[in-house]
RNA sequence: CGGGGCGUAGCUCAGUCUGGCUAGAGCAUCAGCUUUGGGAGCUGAGGGUCGUAGGUUCGAAUCCUGUCGCCCCGACCA
């Protein structure tokens, strides 16, 4: 370059600035910038180093209205993301760097379990989803539309169908099994309500992995390896998840685990035993019922005029709610027939509709309409199982709290009357007895050895033994040693990247901003100058180029801002190490060394910085 | 989908109840000067069809109706 000071002469009164720091585009073909100093030219490559004055980000002094979670506030204030619409976020360069780091970690862990990375379409033909049966089973969350040639299409909310389609194309022999295919891929879910910044969004990138196996034993073994891989991933991003058993829902699988971050903002309720031996999502959590065995007394009708709720009835009769029986009624469709579901449960417990749905194998349950209830001879408010005529479309389900207890007060199916001393088998029967109750804090753990407590959690990943749900419905098969067609069994494993980034902040922040774990911080080093003296700027330029050459990622805050502004932004950017170069320190040959996690800085001789850096990042 | 709240400058908000001059402040941005260790000071500048459509009125950010958007609680969530 002929002219070392081509543009941007800042100030007539401080011409030395132009010599100390002048940033211009380098040879435009190299996508880099050059810093001029008396040392000569320093070329800066974007992927390794960045100078703040050229970086596309914007920090906010105040948090935008509506942001409540620390992760939401800091991601917006720090310039990591920007909201475009409800549940839709633009990722800015700084946020993208964090996501890239997360991707790198996940890719390494997927490699370690022999995953093969692919990329499948977001837009998919509806036929594919009809084939698996999910087109009808999923509601408005699945976005459906027509393309210009009137083909029915969907935006994929997950990729089981597409992956099974790929698997049935490539898979022919047992010799190919097992294998695992995975991708980082956009998902779209038309959520009824997005919330909490990146915690629940409508469009997001997910790492989704799918494994194919000859049998359940092989799937079980691989599932365990994936479980371990997930533990590695979360540990590396600085998160300590609670792992819970979870609902397998209409996916039809067998076993699933969710990796949850405990958080008061979480959408899921987790049930955990005090001794730590049991944990499950509340949807499916089990517990041990406590009930007194009693000698059945004679059935007795009592007048309870106007008393419909458990509370009213038990108060009137002077008994405890646990001596009553509640009948909760739903409508469901089973075998294409509209059915009345009469769920019986002890008065003090609550019905879990997830458990009901899973037992009945139906996708939905609706509260039953009054006239529908009456058509079965039951009376809303006074409904009970006693005296109801058996019908094929009447499904009576008895929770263990009812079938194993006795002498309960239940509805008489007559306006204003209940029965005392209702007993299972003697007064009513049903083959459908089981666990249909929602577990609550304070109940006994399934093993009876400790008490359950409830915490809220954010789901940050799941692993799922799918079984043959997709391979069967979509006709994915292979030939075994005997030349016979066999259906492979599947597992699927997901992690939402944006949510993971938010979860990392939820786990690690202070009042000023995030404290990024070393492995996912957007940069390794945050370098900043205090004062604009030539020697300060030159030292910064020299250090930057030295570290860049050593492979460290450096963010240099070269702005002509007051130290306070730079420190505040440094906190907001949360880079693990902040190094400040100022005239005073420089006079002693020192630079200020401040890990983000610590309150105070220490002074380090300039000559030792690079070796200290290597100690700070031993894995680098 | 039910309940609640909010839409005024890039961001945070005042003004709306009780209609009335050219629609305001702080922060941010641009220019200049000063300043330089935890979000500086002064001077000046740019930036808003007050979400949108209609209505009432001599006159609407303000009152009425519709509509769109955003947030929170609940329902929902492979």
CATH of the domain at A333: 3.90.960.10
Provide the CA A523 to C1' B17 distance, Å, integer.
Answer: 52
Q: Give the position of tokens 């469901």.
A: A332
- Are A428 and A460 in a shared domain? no
Which nucleotide lies nearest residue A62, CA to C1'? B12
Residue A33 lies in a domain: yes
Structure tokens at A139: 């509601």
Beta strand extents in A406-470 (DSSP E only): 408-414, 417-422, 432-434, 452-467
Protein chain A, residues 449-508, with a C-beta closer than 7 Å to any atom of nucleic acid strand B: 462, 464, 492, 494, 496
Q: Give the position of tokens 């949510």.
A: A499
Among the listed residues A571, A574, A530, A524, the one whose alpha carbon sits nearest the alpha carbon of residue A551: A524
pLDDT at A301 (0 to 100)? 94
On whether the CB atoms of residues A117 and A183 are closer than 8 A, the answer is yes
Provide the CA A284 to C1' B53 distance, Å, integer.
Answer: 50
Residue A293 lies in a domain: no
On whether the CB atoms of residues A325 and A347 are closer than 8 A, the answer is yes
Residue A81 lies in a domain: no
Which nucleotide lies nearest residue A192, CA to C1'? B76
- Are A148 and A276 in a shared domain? yes
DSSP A324: B
On whether the CB atoms of residues A502 and A198 are closer than 8 A, the answer is yes
Provide the CA A86 to C1' B20 distance, Å, integer.
Answer: 39
Last residue within a domain, chosen from A407, A434, A461: A434
Provide the CA A110 to C1' B54 distance, Å, integer.
Answer: 59
Residue A118 lies in a domain: yes
Which nucleotide lies nearest residue A134, CA to C1'? B78
Which nucleotide lies nearest residue A206, CA to C1'? B78
Residue nearest to nucleotide B7 (CA to C1'): A65
Provide the CA A76 to C1' B62 distance, Å, integer.
Answer: 32
pLDDT at A22 (0 to 100)? 56
- Are A458 and A544 in a shared domain? no
Residue A133 lies in a domain: yes
Last residue within a domain, chosen from A405, A434, A463: A434
Is the C-beta atom of A532 closer than 7 angstroms to strand B?
yes
Q: What is the pLDDT of residues A554-576, one digit of tens each?
A: 999 988 899 999 999 999 999 99
- Domain count within chain A: 3
In the three-class reduction of DSSP (H, G, I as helix; E, B as strand; rest coil), residue A388 is classed as coil
Among the listed residues A214, A229, A253, A202, the one whose alpha carbon sits nearest the alpha carbon of residue A492: A253
Q: Which residues form the domain of A277?
A: 97-286+452-502
Report how far residue A448's alpha carbon sits from residue A434's, in angstroms, rounded to the nearest whole number.
Answer: 18
Report how far residue A431's alpha carbon sits from residue A267's, in angstroms, rounded to the nearest whole number.
Answer: 35
Residue A327 lies in a domain: yes
- Are A260 and A130 in a shared domain? yes
- Are A266 and A210 in a shared domain? yes
- Are A228 and A193 in a shared domain? yes
- Are A334 and A274 in a shared domain? no
Which nucleotide lies nearest residue A592, CA to C1'? B37
Is the C-beta atom of A65 closer than 7 angstroms to strand B?
yes
Q: Is the ipTM of this complex over 0.90?
A: yes
Q: What is the mean pLDDT of each run of 10 residues along chain A (620 residues)?
A: 34 36 54 56 72 88 89 95 94 96 97 97 96 89 93 96 97 97 96 91 96 96 97 97 83 80 90 92 90 85 89 90 90 84 91 87 82 89 90 92 90 93 93 92 92 93 93 96 97 96 95 96 95 86 89 92 94 97 94 96 96 94
Is the C-beta atom of A584 closer than 7 angstroms to strand B?
yes
- Are A155 and A183 in a shared domain? yes
Residue A295 lies in a domain: no
Is the C-beta atom of A87 closer than 7 angstroms to strand B?
yes
CATH of the domain at A459: 3.30.930.10
Protein chain A, residues 308-347, with a C-beta closer than 7 Å to any atom of nucleic acid strand B: none
CATH of the domain at A581: 3.40.50.800
Residue A3 lies in a domain: no
CB-proximal positions of chain B, under 7 Å: 1-2, 6, 11-13, 26-28, 32-40, 69-78
- Are A255 and A107 in a shared domain? yes
Report how far residue A115's alpha carbon sits from residue A132's, in angstroms, rounded to the nearest whole number.
Answer: 24
- Are A531 and A575 in a shared domain? yes
Q: Exposure pattern of A538-570 as b/e (b: 16+ CB <10 Å)?
A: bbbbbbbbebbeeebbbbbbbeebeeeebbbbb
Protein chain A, residues 36-55, with a C-beta closer than 7 Å to any atom of nucleic acid strand B: none
Which nucleotide lies nearest residue A139, CA to C1'? B76
- Are A472 and A538 in a shared domain? no
- Are A422 and A456 in a shared domain? no
DSSP A357: H
Provide the CA A566 to C1' B61 distance, Å, integer.
Answer: 38
């Amino acid at each position: 370059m002929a002219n070392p000071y081509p543009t941007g002469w800042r100030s007539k009164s401080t011409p030395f600035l132009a010599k100390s720091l002048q940033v211009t585009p380098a040879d435009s073909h190299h996508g880099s910038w050059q810093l001029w100093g008396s040392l000569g030219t320093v070329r800066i490559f974007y992927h390794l180093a960045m100078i703040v004055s050229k970086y596309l980000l914007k920090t906010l002094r105040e948090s935008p209205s509506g942001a409540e979670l620390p992760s939401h506030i800091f991601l917006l204030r720090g310039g990591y993301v920007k909201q475009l619409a409800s549940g839709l976020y633009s990722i800015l360069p700084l946020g993208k760097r964090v996501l890239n780091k997360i991707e790198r970690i996940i890719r390494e862990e997927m490699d370690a379990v022999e995953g093969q990375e692919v990329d499948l379409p977001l837009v998919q033909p509806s036929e594919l989803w009809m084939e698996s049966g999910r087109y009808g089973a999923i509601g408005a969350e699945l976005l459906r539309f027509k393309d210009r040639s009137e083909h029915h299409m969907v935006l994929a909310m997950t990729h089981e169908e597409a992956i099974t389609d790929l698997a049935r194309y490539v898979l022919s022999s047992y010799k190919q099994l097992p294998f695992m295919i995975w991708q980082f891929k956009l998902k779209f879910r038309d959520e009824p309500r997005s919330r909490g910044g990146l915690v629940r969004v409508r469009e997001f990138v997910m790492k989704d992995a799918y494994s194919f196996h000859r049998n359940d034993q092989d799937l079980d073994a691989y599932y365990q390896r994936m479980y371990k891989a997930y533990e590695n991933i979360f540990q590396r991003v600085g998160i300590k998840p609670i792992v819970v058993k979870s609902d397998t829902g209409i996916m039809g699988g067998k076993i699933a685990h969710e990796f949850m971050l405990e958080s008061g903002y979480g959408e899921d309720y987790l049930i955990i035993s005090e001794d730590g031996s049991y944990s499950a999502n509340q949807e499916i959590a089990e517990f041990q019922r406590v009930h007194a065995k009693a000698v059945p007394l004679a059935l007795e009708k009592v007048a309870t005029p106007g008393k419909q709720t458990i509370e009213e009835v038990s108060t009137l009769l002077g008994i405890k709610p646990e001596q009553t029986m509640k009948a909760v009624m739903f409508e469901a469709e089973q075998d294409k027939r509209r059915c009345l579901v009469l769920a019986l449960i002890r008065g003090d417990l609550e019905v879990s509709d997830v458990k009901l749905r899973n037992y009945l194998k139906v996708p939905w349950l609706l509260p039953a309409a009054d006239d529908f209830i009456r058509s079965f001879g039951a009376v809303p408010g006074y409904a009970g199982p006693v005296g109801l005529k058996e019908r094929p479309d009447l499904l009576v389900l008895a929770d263990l709290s009812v079938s194993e207890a006795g002498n309960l007060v239940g509805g008489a199916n007559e306006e204003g009357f209940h029965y005392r001393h209702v007993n299972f088998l003697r007064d009513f029967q049903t083959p459908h007895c089981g666990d249909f109750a929602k577990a609550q804090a304070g109940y006994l753990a399934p093993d009876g050895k400790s008490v359950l407590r409830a915490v809220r959690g954010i789901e940050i990943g799941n692993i799922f033994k799918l079984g043959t749900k997709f391979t069967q419905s979509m006709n994915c098969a292979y030939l075994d040693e005997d030349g016979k067609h066999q259906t492979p069994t599947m597992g699927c494993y997901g992690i939402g990247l944006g949510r993971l980034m938010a979860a990392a902040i939820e786990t690690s922040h202070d009042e000023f901003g995030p404290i990024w774990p070393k492995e996912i911080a957007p940069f390794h080093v945050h370098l900043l100058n205090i004062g604009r003296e030539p020697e300060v700027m030159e030292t910064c330029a020299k250090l930057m180029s030295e570290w860049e050459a050593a492979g460290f990622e450096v963010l240099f805050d070269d702005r002509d801002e007051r130290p306070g502004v730079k420190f505040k932004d440094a906190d907001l950017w949360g880079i693990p190490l902040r190094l400040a170069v100022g005239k005073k320190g420089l006079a002693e040959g020192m630079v200020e060394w401040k890990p983000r996690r610590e309150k105070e800085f220490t002074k380090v001789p300039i000559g030792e910085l690079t070796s200290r850096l290597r100690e700070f990042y031993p894995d680098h």
